[in-house]
Amino acid sequence: MSNRMWGGRYESGPAEIMAEINASIDFDKRLAEQDIRGSVAHAAMLGAAGILPEADAEAIQAGLQTVRDEIRAGSFAFSRELEDIHMNVESRLRDLIGPAAGRLHTARSRNDQVATDMKLWVRDTIDAVDGQIADLMGALAEAALAGAGIVMPGFTHLQSAQPVTFGHHLLAYVEMLARDRGRFSDARARLNECPLGAAALAGTSFPIDRHRTASELGFDRPTANSLDSVADRDFVLEVLAAASICAIHLSRFAEEIVLWTTPQFGFVRLSDAYTTGSSIMPQKRNPDAAELVRGKSGRVVGALQGLLMVLKGLPLAYGKDMQEDKEGAFDALHTLSLSLAATAGMVRDMVPDADAMRRAAGAGYATATDLADWLVRALGLPFRDAHHVTGRIVGLASDRGAGLEELSLDEMQRVEPRITEAVFEVLGVDASVRSRTSYGGTAPDNVRAQARGWLERMRP
């Protein structure tokens, strides 16, 4: 049978496979709160503008509140025959208040309705994700403050490079996440225009007040072009792009946790709460939470790529292809939320092994740059010459199987006679990190100041 809500032209119903591919209620019922919120604002505007009798507008709004209560209580019966959330809500509204429910769709289309619903949902989700990112930043800043004096190896090419502090390393992720918050905030500001009232694609001849509806729904203004209003899914793309970058940041940190928890690194330990055992190897403690965060980033990035492909060849205005904007976005943003929560949990759970980190910090001649810098400062060598001298001294230490600080003064003077006993003051890892006092550097006092600054800025 044809859809009783809008199928007047049709004498028979769709093929079974058509009904299967066309119905979206299985996933777009997630938009129920937003759909009802938009409909309440639309009905109020229609009543205020005199387009609907005030009694009908009030009955519609009261009926919609009842529908919302039923959905929240779990007693609402969703129907696949009605295809989507809009028709499900309107059908139930008709059951509750009678023919007046049919007036709700005056001066709008499902095209502008779904665009509005999706904007409301994305905006709500951005606000929730922003709070989670802030929570993770706070957890990292607290851990950075506690680890400001813990020396660890800093890497380039995953090779030991220079000593840094554990707190400094963690604060790098705070900076990344702060940029993620900025991207979500920018996306939120750009999407905050209301499509409702654009109707199918050309606007409407009814004297509606789109500014009132936009204001009622918390938008800054109505959208300015009716074609763009219903065709636009840039806001979903932009949020998925921000989510993808954030997921990649989480994946990078997760990869470091995976490395740090291996016996070969042994930098941090996670409790049973964030690790699992092996079905055959009783000694194993697998960092599964970190591995899952790392793996789930692919789902988020995949959703962005999928929607880009959906939209790339679509002419204006609305096409049913655009129904494909939802499942990927719902899954990606849920996945990001889950990953943020798991990462914050791991940060609060992990216990650093300061001794293991310090031992590793001195490996691989990590203070070689400190030696080169000392040659520049103390002896006035050009840096390139100091680099060459340092390389020869590192080679000497490597031949001996010794650390730089284990070489004698006499051995170093064979390479550069002007070297004095004072050079040993810069060859330890603690002295190295203390010396990095430039703004943004790894010195413990810098790290403490930065961590406290972040915690102060994020304080409610």
Q: Is 157 a catalytic residue?
A: yes
Query: Among residues 100, 25, 49, which one has the least CA distance to residue 216?
Result: 49
What amino acid is encoded at 424 in this protein?
Answer: F
Helix (H, G, I), strand (E, B) or coil at 245: helix
Query: Among residues 67, 72, 73, which one has the least CA distance to residue 86?
Result: 67
Give dist(CA 345, CA 143) in Å, integer.
12
Residue with tokens 């090779």: 159
Q: Which residues contact 31 (CB under 8 A, 6 or more apart)?
A: 85, 114, 117, 118, 120, 121, 326
Q: What is the pTM of this model?
A: 0.91
What is the structure's pLDDT at 282? 64
Question: Catalytic residue among 12, 157, 205, 438, which?
Answer: 157
Give dist(CA 190, CA 36) in Å, integer.
23
Q: Which residues contact 319 (CB under 8 A, 6 or more apart)?
A: none
Helix (H, G, I), strand (E, B) or coil at 62: helix
Q: Is 278 a catalytic residue?
A: yes
What are the beta bridge partners of residue 403?
A: none
What is the structure's pLDDT at 280? 72
What is the structure's pLDDT at 399? 92
Cβ proximity of 137 and 454 under 8 Å: yes
What is the structure's pLDDT at 8? 55
Query: How many residues are listed for the chain in this entry?
Result: 460
Question: Catalytic residue among 2, 79, 185, 278, which?
Answer: 278
What is the structure's pLDDT at 363? 85
Query: Among residues 80, 84, 75, 79, which one has the least CA distance to residue 34?
Result: 84
What is the structure's pLDDT at 409? 94
Q: What angle do CA 260, 262, 268 make, to 5 degrees?
A: 40
Helices H, strands E: what count in the chain? 18, 6
Consecutive 10-residue averages of pLDDT for the chain (460 residues):
51 75 90 98 98 97 98 96 94 97 97 98 98 98 98 94 96 98 98 98 98 98 98 98 98 98 96 83 84 98 98 95 95 98 98 96 86 94 95 93 90 94 90 93 97 93
